[in-house]
Amino acid sequence: MDGKITIADLLVAKDKGRKIVAVSCYDYTTARLVSQTDVQMILVGDSAAQMMLGFDSTLPATMDFMVAITAAVRRGAPNVFLVADMPFLSYQVGIAEAVKNAGRFAAEAGAQMIKIEATGAYLDVVKAVSDAGIAVMAHIGIRPQSISKIGKYKAQASTAEMAAELISLAEQMVCAGASTLLIEGTAAEVSEVITGRSPVPVIGCGSGPGCHGQILIAPDILGLVQGPTPKFSKSYGDLANLIIEAFEKYTEDVKTCKFPDPEHSYHMKKGEFERLQELLSTS
């Protein structure tokens, strides 16, 4: 796609059966690299609280932090469709606060859409933000911001009753004004049903191949995460070991005085060092 990717481009991709590729990343440098590929969408997720800040959940992410990193990603990837994640307590405390915070992402960070982890209790929030002219991605299925309530994550819609509830919720979100859906950690069969019924693009995260598009976090894609990763995650590189090796080589060069060498040092103009020595000898 030429120029800045918009929601209209995503709808065309959906209607023509072309998969939408999305990546979640959190910084300018990574966003610049993503922007040089055919990835159409970047989500600046509140998982940055875990990946960047080292917390054990997404809950500590604040609005100021999320706005700052979303703006950084926009600078790194000016033409990629940009979605900003509404962090914990940025929309739960009231409709007016939700619209105000969503507006911050649009005005201060250049986001084209905001994401809300949504249950039926937040249909009015989705509608209000949408009515304010801000596109909404409704995040259903596993909702990481509810970790303190549910205790641990488990696959969603594993029974017919649960599946029917999630299908109904997806339809309600679209009726409330959601411009896209993100389905996380949901049975593939159910996600395919939701996708088949949805007039808006459906992005899957650990929800099978039937969605209109897929998303993974950049650290998982690059193989930067050490230790266990979600079942649905897949690494396409092994950068963690390469980075460790690079740091080890740098450490060895510094210890053995191989770095910095003359090539990586600044030098005085020709003849100026000799003049300096004369000045010092007479002082």
Cis peptide before 260 (omega within 30 of 0): yes
Question: Quick check: 167 and 140 in contact, CB under 8 A?
Answer: no
184 is catalytic: yes
Long-range contacts from 87-93, C-beta under 8 angstroms, 24+ separation: 87/46, 87/49, 87/58, 87/61, 87/62, 87/63, 87/145, 88/46, 88/58, 88/59, 88/61, 88/145, 90/63, 90/66, 91/116, 91/122, 91/125, 91/129, 92/122
b (16+ CB within 10 A) / e for 249-269 = eeeeeeeeeeeeeeeeeeeee
Q: Which residues contact 228 (CB under 8 A, 6 or more apart)?
A: none
Q: Which of 97, 108, 161, 184 is catalytic?
A: 184
d(CA 242, CA 72): 25
Q: Are strands 113-117 and 202-205 parallel, antiparallel or unpaired?
A: unpaired
Annotated active-site positions, please?
Answer: 184
